[in-house]
Amino acid sequence: MQKTRSASDKKSFLFLQGVCSPFFLRLANKLASTGHQVHKLHFTMGDALYWRNRPAYSSHSFRSAPEHLPSFLKEKYQQWGITDQVLFGDRRPVHLPAIAQARQQGVHTHVFEEGYFRPHWVTLERDGVNAHSSLPKDPDWYRDTGRQFTDDFANVQPFSSSFAIRAAHDVLYHAGNALNPVAYPGYRTHASCNAIVDYAGHIRRLALSHQWKKRDSHSIEELIASSIPYYFLPLQLNSDAQIRDHSSFDGMHDVVAYVMESFAKHASGDALLVIKNHPLDGGLVNYPRMICELEKRYAIPGRTLYLETGDLTNVLRHAKGTITVNSTVGAVALELGCPTITLSDPVYNLAGLTFRGHLDAFWRSAQKPDSSLFRCFRNTVIHTTQVNGGFYSAQGIALAVDNSARMMESERSLLQELL
């Protein structure tokens, strides 16, 4: 059980760059309402727009290049008596020096990220997430620790969050950021492409989505009914830090080529490779053409099936195996008992869960994950690093705010207590 600080020992929180929604502001309001001090550092016009210049909170705009941030933060830590800093995503250019500086100054860093388990969870860890998570890689630790968590989270509070709400927040945030060259000339974005170009791709995908859903649903039904063995490769976003910073690949083109070459050489001749696009992909890469060219290169014509949409659970239930770099789809596959191999090192890459050999051997030697170990792993991870809630819808934000605040008020996280 976590202990909350007494009223005489309240914290001073510094909020850095957040997600494109009102989540950080509402979390700040919650913490302030319980007696903590709240401060904000703006890096973009989008930040300032969502913060709405609340006069009750100390705020400052950082307009210089990231290399000047450590000395600036050291000054603000002292000026505002900062005990904790809060940020979304630990690989952003403005957050890399901030995390390092906080560690030197004894300031706790609370890192938010999309959930390791979705859709009703977000991630909240100390100091880092994903490849920088403090979660152990020892399966025996999860077996021992997970025994105390037995509810399997059947009582998680669900909520709805439409793509339209998320898109509206994103557009509002980036509309403000159009003024960054003047208002925040030193800012360096973590995004890999211009927002306008990205929106154009999403509009095109949205226009074609109804047509794709009918086509892909029919293709999946036919595939499952045929009993043809198939393996599944879910695509990730080229812009995702999971690919840019936490893998050895330059982008999904390299991933697809690597997997298809191994499939051509080592998979059974009657097997298919099903490749599904990421639901938030902006459509800037012509994956069907790329896959067609790779089929010719590796002499496997007709042995791939490309999907833009489709029921992920249905595809995973019948797959002989899933190949992923480090997508959260891998955790879904493990939960469904689907043999899974990772091409990087996500938090669920544990002996007993994921395949330990080379991809070339996976096609014929894949084994199902240990369901008991996965249950212990999932329950432990959710209890220690996951917050029931979301970043975009009003209901999701309200849940995430209440549940996050309780975790952040403690001097040590639940994971630190267990470790």
Single pTM value for the model? 0.91
With residue 272 as reference, give the H or E element that holds it.
strand 272-276
C-alpha pair distances (Å), 318 with each of 1, 179, 266, 330: 41, 49, 20, 15
Per-residue model confidence (pLDDT) at position 304: 98
Q: In whole angstroms, give the CA distance from residue 356 to residue 352.
A: 9
pLDDT at 237: 93
In this prediction, residue 169 carries a pLDDT of 86
Comparing CA positions, the residue from 165, 344, 137 lying closest to residue 241 is 344
* Beta-carbon contacts of residue 210 (< 8 Å; ≥ 6 apart): none
CB distance 314 to 328 below 8 Å: no
pLDDT at 3: 38
Q: How far apart are CA 207 and CA 390, in angstroms?
A: 26
Furthest CA-CA distance within the chain: 71
List beta partners, residue 275. 233, 306
Q: How confident is the model at residue 6 (pLDDT cuts 50, 70, 90)?
A: very low
pLDDT band for position 192 (cuts 50, 70, 90): low
Listed in sequence order, the DSSP H helices in 322-393 are 329-335, 359-365, 371-385
Token pair 């995702």 in the structure block, residue: 240
Closest CA to 255 of 272, 235, 283: 235
Q: DSSP labels for 114-135? A: E-SS-SSEEEEEES--GGG---
Do 308 and 232 meet the contact criterion of CB atoms below 8 Å apart? no
Residue 66's pLDDT is 84
Distance in angstroms between the alpha carbons of the first and the last residue of the chain:
14
- pLDDT computed for residue 4 by the predictor: 42
Which pLDDT band, with edges at 50, 70 and 90, does 219 fall under? Answer: very high
Q: Which CATH architecture has domain 209-375?
A: 3-Layer(aba) Sandwich (3.40)
CATH number of 7-114+159-178+389-418: 3.40.50.720
- Find out whether 107 and 84 touch, Cβ atoms under 8 Å: yes
The mean per-residue pLDDT over the stretch 71-80 comes to 94
Task: With cut-offs at 50, 70 and 90, classify the pLDDT of residue 289.
Answer: very high
Q: Per-residue pLDDT for 358 more than 90?
A: yes
Q: How much is the average pLDDT of 168-175?
A: 84
More confident residue, 394 or 180: 394
In this prediction, residue 67 carries a pLDDT of 87
Counts of helices then strands in the chain (DSSP H, E): 17, 12
Window from 54-58, 78-82, 166-170 with minimum mean pLDDT: 54-58
Least confident of 147-156, 176-185, 274-283, 344-353: 147-156
For residue 304, the SS3 value is strand
Q: Give dist(CA 217, CA 113) in Å, integer.
A: 31
pLDDT of residue 80: 94
Q: What phi, psi does 323 have (nearest 5°)?
A: -115, 125
Write down the H helix ranges in 37-80.
45-51, 69-80
Is residue 268 predicted with pLDDT exceeding 80? yes
Domain boundaries, the chain: 7-114+159-178+389-418, 209-375
Question: Do 7-114+159-178+389-418 and 209-375 come out as alike in CATH topology?
Answer: yes
Q: What is the mean pLDDT of the chain?
A: 91
- Rounded mean pLDDT, 260-268: 98
Whether the predicted pLDDT of 39 surpasses 60? yes
d(CA 106, CA 253): 41
- Using CA atoms, how far apart are residues 332 and 353, in angstroms rounded to an integer? 12
Short-list 77, 78, 43, CA closest to 60? 43
Who wins on pLDDT, 3 or 238?
Answer: 238
Distance CA(109)–CA(87), nearest Å, equals 8
Residue 7: predicted pLDDT? 44
pLDDT of 397 higher than 70: yes
Q: How confident is the model over 394-417, as a mean pLDDT?
A: 95
pLDDT at position 10 over 60: yes
